[in-house]
Amino acid sequence: MGARPAPWVPGGRKPLGPAGAARRGECARPRLPGRAAAARRRSRLSSPSSERQRQLIELAGSLADEFAGRAERYDRENSFPFENFDRLRELRYTSLTVPERYGGLGANLLEFCRAQERLAKGDGATALGVNMHLFGIGSLAERGDLAGEAADRFFRPIVGGVIMGGGFSEPESGQNWASPSSVAVRTPGGYVLNGRKTFNSLAPIVGLFFVTARIEDPADREPHVGFFVVLRGTPGLEIKETWDTMGMRATQSHDLLITDARVAEQQLFSKWPTARRSPQFSNMGVWFQLSVASVYIGIAAAALDYAVTFANQRRPAALANTIAHFPATQFTAAEMLIELEASRALVRGAASDWLTRPEPASEAEMAQEASQWLVRSSIAKTFATDAAVRIVDRALEITGGVGLFRRFPLERYYRDVRAGKVHPVSRALSLELIGKQTLGVPLDIEPRWG
């Protein structure tokens, strides 16, 4: 990977608004996506429900069409798409979920999911990468945990171009984000952090790391987990380049090594007892699962478009018609579209219901709501990511051996889409949670089995 300048920080280029983009002839009117005829045939099944959604989807679509031409190169080189993220900043997509009053685009969860699906049709890895920046911002904005000067200090740099990344996953704790192995030892005026975080998407450009750690503080009567904000460049932080994977290669999700990193007391964003669920984590879990599912729906939609175009162009020499006239091709395409639309219905239905849910009246109701939404979002994410794999597999059935060549995008879709199954909540844990709720077994019962 070639050398790049230090991560972009506020004070650089001013983000270009829609009017400025139009003046430069950029994104004034998004191009129709490739294979437009196939897309138009399905437009009524997935049309936006509001003018605002349409505008955000058009923004995502214009970026997706641009990124699609570079996706194969970044995947093959296992390199980071700096150019893509320059464009995402320039057109304000990196502030998609920042509230409008702070200069962001103010997308809610449903709008975020719709935009991410469209972006992923062009480049799944870029969409997944920016998802890891945006979902936490949207969750925090929605909860209203930040207000006044604190909110201004947090959101303004993001609008200015700072990228946020999450230090949640660990080699020791796997997907159990709520029980980290990383440690924060209380010291006068702050904390000293130690640990190792894996799957740090966008590692080459993250300027602000959210890091979870187990707090060691004699003043606490019970164990707590802390949620820390750590600036890139803090002594003791090191990015270790470990990312060489089968799929989603351009996310460059390297490891973050934390060795005696000192942070000030005010960098502790929140803390909660390890025995309870954090409200922030409950909200973030819903935003994460539904938006990540949308990314894989987008890749599956791209695979369907590719297969439809291929089937309508491929005509064996001995036949009068293309393979689109074969019953087997028609049945396969039907199965693909059924699963695609079912996935969309589950994810968008959950996101829509999330926006209109009633406020819990007590802590008990809040805990019950958190459990219900953990399961609801897990149902949508599990079905959508499983279906995405099946859809891409069926696309390969339609194309045959042509789909195996790296010069065509289906081979990349085939590899990228498989990452959907390993994002939290994992498929195995999702089935456990869904099954327990179905059978009336408490989700947090101990022991878990028997």
Asked if residue 288 lies in contact with residue 280, where contact means CB atoms within 8 angstroms, the answer is: no
Which CA distances in Å does 360 have to 114, 363, 367? Answer: 27, 8, 9
What are the pLDDT digits (tens) for 325-354? 999 999 999 999 999 999 999 999 999 999
Cα–Cα distance measured from residue 199 to residue 288, given in angstroms and rounded to the nearest whole number: 14
Which pLDDT value is given to residue 176? 67
Which CA distances in Å does 209 have to 90, 128, 426? Answer: 22, 17, 23
Cα–Cα distance measured from residue 82 to residue 430, given in angstroms and rounded to the nearest whole number: 34
Residues linked to residue 166 through DSSP beta bridges, in sequence order: 210
Which pLDDT value is given to residue 43? 37
Which pLDDT value is given to residue 39? 39
Confidence of residue 280 (pLDDT cuts 50, 70, 90): low
- Residue 14, pLDDT > 70, answer no
97: left (phi over 0), alpha (psi -120 to 50) or beta: alpha
Which pLDDT value is given to residue 402? 94
Cα–Cα distance measured from residue 65 to residue 246, given in angstroms and rounded to the nearest whole number: 24
Confidence of residue 139 (pLDDT cuts 50, 70, 90): very high
Residues linked to residue 231 through DSSP beta bridges, in sequence order: 208
Cα–Cα distance measured from residue 436 to residue 323, given in angstroms and rounded to the nearest whole number: 45
Which pLDDT value is given to residue 292? 99
DSSP letters of 64-93? HHHHHHHHHHHHHHT---HHHHHHHHHTTG
End-to-end CA gap in the chain: 50
Secondary structure element (H or E) that encloses residue 207, with its range: strand 206-216
Average pLDDT over residues 83-99: 98
What are the pLDDT digits (tens) for 140-168? 999 887 888 889 999 999 999 999 998 78
Query: Hey, what domains does the chain have and what are their CATH numbers?
Result: 18-162 (1.10.540.10), 167-273 (2.40.110.10), 279-439 (1.20.140.10)
What are the pLDDT digits (tens) for 100-130? 999 999 999 999 999 999 999 999 999 999 9
Residues linked to residue 270 through DSSP beta bridges, in sequence order: 227
Residue in the structure block whose two tokens are 């996310």: 251
Global pTM value: 0.88
The two three-digit tokens of residue 52, written as one number: 């605002």
Between 340 and 444, the more confident residue is 340
Cα–Cα distance measured from residue 88 to residue 96, given in angstroms and rounded to the nearest whole number: 10
Asked if residue 294 lies in contact with residue 113, where contact means CB atoms within 8 angstroms, the answer is: yes
DSSP letters of 231-265? ETT-TTEEEE-----SS-GGG--EEEEEEEEEEEG
